[in-house]
Structure 1
């Protein structure tokens, strides 16, 4: 996928780093609530190798809203455009936003959250990936926060 500056991004280039892929859209209310959690995580752990790729599902009509969204939430990580349901399917995530994928340094998916990721969930997963949290790894199965 390309970012808002036209640069191409591929997950392979982030091997060796802890990567969070966040699927979101400017019109998605839970995405708006989740984004500050991801921004805070990036600020806290970017110097330790955390990468966040924010893949927008905005279409041609709503893509013009992306720059204001990026500015409002002070997103300092790559913001990708052109997200599709097929991208979510590559991570076996269904078709719901937001959706968040945690990938270890070897490029392996270690956890997935469908629906709004909670701060506690993001913190525990990143800390575990960094080796700061002892014990079992967080659940690899999809944590589902979709409204019932």
Structure 2
């Protein structure tokens, strides 16, 4: 599954997304449909495949090939690219779009194994443990 977000991240995201939808006037009965369409596109962009939508299509909707570059192993420690999971326009505007056809290996070599292969509970526990370690580190400067 591509849905490996922590439950706290999902909660904050949904509250934010719902508030913005209300502010811009999306009718409440259309909100679930919008969520389904956007989640489908986001899930497809995280599929472990080299699927491309072609020159024009990749500039309109994020494809699995486009977004895979963002998750490449070599992206760690460098300026990353292809942040978008639905629309590449933000990457194009911020000059972080990389449309070259290469397919890098993906993953996070520093992450605990449970983050990639563990069940739902193991992933949630590993995420909380990582958050605690990060918050417990002294700040530089």
TM-score by length of 2: 0.25
TM-score by length of 1: 0.24
- Pick 1 or 2: higher relative contact order, CA cutoff 8 A, min separation 6: 1
Q: Which has the higher strand share?
A: 1
Q: Which has the higher helix share?
A: 2
In terms of Rg, which structure is larger?
2
